[in-house]
Amino acid sequence: MNNKNIFQNINQNENDNELQNLQELGQVNIPDFESSIFTLPIIGEIEGHGELPQGRKSTKYEHVIPQLLAVEQNPKYEGLFLIINTVGGDVEAGLALSELISSMKKPSVSLVIGGGHSIGVPLSVSTNHSFIAPTASMTIHPIRTSGLVIAVSQSFEYFKRMQERIVSFVEKNSKIQKDRFEELMLNNREMANDLGSILVGQNAVDEGLIDSVGGLSDALIKIQELIDERKAEN
Distance CA 140, CA 118 (A): 6
Whether 155 is catalytic is no
For the chain, state the CA radius of gyration.
21
Cα–Cα distances (Å) from 72 to 20, 46, 102, in that order, read: 31, 22, 12
Distance CA 108, CA 82 (A): 7
Using DSSP bridges, classify how beta strands 197-200 and 137-140 pair: parallel, antiparallel or unpaired. antiparallel
Whether 141 is catalytic is yes
Of the listed 110, 124, 141, 174, which one is catalytic?
Answer: 141
For residues 205 and 116, is the Cβ–Cβ distance under 8 A? no
Distance CA 150, CA 138 (A): 31
**Helix or strand (DSSP H, E) at 204:** helix 202-206
Of the listed 108, 110, 118, 197, which one is catalytic?
Answer: 118
Catalytically active residues are 118, 141
